[in-house]
A and B are shown apart, each in its own frame.
Chain A
Amino acid sequence: MTEAGNLTLMDKLRILSDAAKYDVACTSSGVDRRNAGRGLGNSIAAGICHSFSADGRCISLLKILFTNECVFDCRYCLNRSSNDVLRATFTPEEVCELTVGFYKRNFIEGLFLSSGIVRSPNYTMELLLRTVQLLRTKYQFFGYIHLKAIPGADERLIEQAGYYADRMSINLELPTAEGLKALAPHKSRNTILKPMRRIQLRAQENKNELALYRNAPKFVPAGQSTQMIIGATGESDYELVQVAQSLYKKFSLKRVFYSAFVNVNQDTSLPMPVQGPPLLREHRLYQADWLMRFYGFEADELLTREHPNFNTVFDPKCDWALRHLEQFPVEINRADYYTLLRVPGIGVQSARKIVGARRFGALNFEDLRKMRVVLKRALYFITCSGRMMYPVRMEEGYIARNLAGAGERLPDAVRNGGYRQLSFFDGAGGEVWQ
């Protein structure tokens, strides 16, 4: 397999997955699609992790570049044209064979295909389009496909590709236009935001078409995502969450991913973090992102110009609660779902359990404990039928000290997508076995 100087498939896979590893968007979530006897594969909206790499990240998709040739010269990227690295390029068939071969063995949920820019953005986008087209038609593949749109490529090509992909993404790369200009001289805000807008509009039109014609072809059914590099330029967390919020609200993105900067090129003009990539910062951003997407928080509530960075000791929700003690304690038996979600220590699962169970009688602390609602942090912020668990002074310093003592269990990783709605219907009475 490793004889001659020619690249084997193994060499290509090694090179082109290595080159794709800094792209963090490895989730297969967002779309449910049954196969129903048509060919190979289906898709599960909650996403499935197939393995975990040595850095603890989920491996869900065959994440590769089509090629690591590149005519652009982004400073933060290993594949930039000025670097002397080993270059490789797949053929569309090779990508299809690998995807199908891996998929059948249940190694992956599908394909994540990105690419360096070979010759021109259009030439590259055409190659990507041909690959996904082949995979869906000739190979009858119905698993998940996440496809990168190439900045600067013809929008028609991008749009066409959207009918084969489940999700598309264009990386914002850097949170500010200045940052982008400095570090990615061949890209511009415009070549990134324009196709992003285009995909958004097309997806909206497609929703209307689907409402009229159920069998109309689907356009990026799992939506659009993007990625920002954290810590390469000097933005504050405040600026980052603001950018993220506007991407969610103005561009209807499904996910924004944050990637702690790794100085792969040892480029002296970029930061060289001595303690490795800024992982805690990245983690805080994901927590904040989660609060904005599922907990009904606004970016302004989490950070402000005067308070522009996340607390290293407390997670963003705790931090917020400590600054808003006037809104606590909340009554477990009456507070609505979103108010419960604002209590430190109460997550989606606990809030749902509480809302579900209190319909059958008032809950006390003992009930909560039995229902495995973790009270370690919540106890400072809640009452059950008007009583707190212990007498608590509603005072920031006092609670902060206690919370710091309770410690933060840094979650393994902020989970992929997977927000599932529970629904229960009650049937009518009558005979016992109906």
Chain B
Amino acid sequence: MAVNRQIFLCEDSPDGIFTGVYDAWAAKVPHELVELRTARPENLEFFCDYHTSARDEEKAQKVRRTMMRRLGARGYESLYFACASCAPDKGTAVFGSISAVLRTGCTMENQKNPHIRRVYELQKNVGSEYHHYLGFVRFAMLANGVLFSVIEPRNHMLELLAGHFGDRLCKEEFVIYDRGRGRLLYHPKDESCTVYEGIRLSEYEMEQLRESQEDYEALFAAFCRSISIRERKNEKLQRQMLPLHFREYMVEFHNLSPKTTENGAFYDEYQPGNVTESEKRTQFLLENQKQK
């Protein structure tokens, strides 16, 4: 009598999780007892049966196609986004949802079901980070013309971002490096993206990247400053919309070198009654203009 929890260990990727779903279903164990894990447990727990589920394209493809057919692109997308989450219970939530969909004939709108609710939450969480990164990714152009970006996302982002930037920057050679996970997305000109695992950039290399000081970066930093309306200054709102943890890799928040400090931080130097560097420059140019 199987009353033990049935734990399926699978790879931390959509295909890995979908394979896990397939294997768990095939194992004919009660679905309430199934857990899908994407990380090896540190200690083995009692009353658990462990199964290892090795990623298998074909099995994953079957699950994927079934869900597409059952749920349409939108419903499938919520499962796919949930798979990219960093939450340890995502595999179980995905399995539970698929089980509910196939057994009761419901859709992903059935928020009375706790697994479906959980998938919805995970999707929202991943989706919001993804949507942030669509805007907050910053590329620096290296001397060889490659666009290079560093991110440190909470959830898996590279596969999601590949589609967006692969289309948008199809004629460019670009790299997005997930520093925390040591994964790197590479897009050659006019071709599709590949993800490389186990890439570690040294502190020195990171430093080089950070120090890249293109004119465009100084120009953009200056733009961000001059576009703000002083009378409406609202840093709390700015922080809500653009949380601090994103800013490490966003050039407009870096202090650029002394040569261009005037374009660096936002209003740091601005105090009522204080004349800033850029205001001095404006004064100088205005005098000049008048003389002409």
Query: Is the beta-carbon distance between A86 and B289 smaller than 8 angstroms?
Result: yes
Q: Could you say which of B104, B105, B109, B135 contacts A49, with CB atoms under 8 Å apart?
A: B135
Q: A21-B229, A59-B227, A105-B140 are in contact. Are A10 and B219 (CB under 8 A)?
A: yes
Across the interface, A54 reaches (CB within 8 A) one of B71, B235, B240, B288, namely B235
Q: Which residues of B contact A434 (CB under 8 A)?
A: 65-66, 69
B contact residues around A17 at 8 Å (CB):
223, 226-227
Mark the stretch among B33-41, B48-56, B194-202, B278-286 that contacts chain A: B278-286
Interface SS of A by simple majority? loop
Q: Which residues of B contact A426 (CB under 8 A)?
A: 70-71, 105, 107
Instruction: Indicate whether A59 sits within 8 Å of B224 (C-beta atoms), given known contacts A2-B281, A86-B286.
Output: yes
In Å, the complex CA distance between A367 and B236 comes to 34
Specify which chain A residues have a CB less than 8 angstroms from the CB of B224 in the assembled complex.
51, 53, 59
Assess whether A37 is in contact with B285, with CB atoms less than 8 Å apart.
no
**Could you say which of B69, B241, B266, B290 contacts A412, with CB atoms under 8 Å apart?**
B241
Is B266 in contact with A5, judged by CB distance below 8 angstroms? no
* Chain A minimum-CB-distance residue to B278: A14
B222–A55 CB distance below 8 A: no
Stretch among A38-46, A161-169, A217-225, A233-241 lining the B interface: A38-46
Question: In the complex, A50→B289 CA distance in Å?
Answer: 34
Whether the pair B63, A58 counts as a contact (CB closer than 8 A) is no
B219 adjacent to A98 (CB under 8 Å): yes
Query: Residues of A within 8 Å of B, CB-based: how many?
Result: 81
Query: A52 touching B171 by the CB < 8 A rule?
Result: no
Measured between beta carbons, the chain B residues less than 8 angstroms from A84 are 286, 290
- Chain B residues positioned under 8 Å from A353 (CB to CB): 109, 111
Report the minimum CB–CB distance from A56 to chain B (whole Å). 3
B139's contact among A51, A62, A105, A412, by CB below 8 Å, is which? A105
- Per-position 1/0 for B3-41, Cβ under 8 A of A: 000000000000000000010010000000000000000
CB neighbours of B281 from chain A (8 A): 2, 11
* Bound complex: CA A424 to CA B73 (Å): 8
A411-434 contacts to B (CB < 8 Å)? 412-413, 422-427, 429, 432-434
A412: shortest Cβ distance to chain B, in Å?
A: 5
**CB neighbours of B266 from chain A (8 A):** 53-54
A residues less than 8 Å from B209 (CB atoms): none
CB of B75 within 8 A of chain A? yes
Which of A51, A356, A432 lies at the interface centre, i.e. has the most chain B CB atoms within 10 A of its CB? A51
Q: Decide: A85 and B112 in contact? CB cutoff 8 A.
A: no
How close is B236's CB to chain A, nearest CB, in angstroms? 8
CB distance from B280 to the nearest CB of A (A): 10
Could you say which residues of chain B place their CB within 8 Å of the CB of A15?
282
Asked if A105 and B220 make an inter-chain contact with CB atoms under 8 angstroms apart, the answer reads yes
How far, in angstroms, from A176 to B70 measured CA to CA in the complex?
A: 54
| A-B CB pair tally, cutoff 8 Å | 224
A50 to B220, CA, bound (A): 11
The segment from B86-94, B162-170, B177-185 that touches chain A is: B162-170
A10-B218, A40-B171, A50-B135 given; A22·B229 CB < 8 A: yes
- Once the chains bind, are A50 and B69 in contact (CB under 8 Å)? no
Report whether B222 and A13 are in contact in the complex, using a CB–CB cutoff of 8 Å: yes
A-facing residues in B108-164 (Cβ within 8 Å)? 108-114, 117, 121, 131, 134-141, 147, 149, 164
- Residue pair A54, B228 in contact (C-beta under 8 Å): yes
A50–B170 CB distance below 8 A: no
Q: Is A360 among interface residues, defined by CB-CB distance under 8 A?
A: yes
Select which of B69, B131, B250 is within 8 A of A427 by beta carbon. Answer: B69
One of B66, B110, B236 near A360 (C-beta < 8 A):
B110
- As a 0/1 sequence over residues 253 to 276 of chain A, the CB contacts with chain B under 8 angstroms (1 = contact) are 000000010100000000000001
Most chain B CB within 10 A, of A39, A360, A434, is at A360
Closest 9 CB pairs of A and B: A56-B237, A356-B109, A5-B288, A53-B228, A55-B232, A357-B111, A425-B72, A427-B69, A54-B228
Using a CB–CB cutoff of 8 Å, the interface residues on chain B facing chain A are 22, 25, 62-63, 65-66, 69-72, 74-75, 102, 104-114, 117, 121, 131, 134-141, 147, 149, 164-165, 167-172, 190, 216-220, 222-238, 240-242, 250, 252, 259-260, 263, 266-267, 278, 281-282, 284-286, 288-290
A contact residues vs B (CB 8 Å cutoff): 1-2, 5, 7, 9-11, 13-15, 17-18, 20-22, 34-37, 39-42, 44, 46, 48-60, 62-63, 84-87, 98, 101-102, 104-107, 109, 143, 260, 262, 276-277, 279, 353, 356-357, 359-361, 363, 367, 370-372, 412-413, 422-427, 429, 432-434
Beyond A37-B170, A42-B167, A51-B135, 14 extra complex contacts between A and B, CB < 8 Å: A10-B219, A13-B219, A14-B222, A14-B223, A17-B226, A17-B227, A18-B227, A35-B167, A37-B190, A44-B134, A44-B164, A54-B235, A57-B229, A433-B65
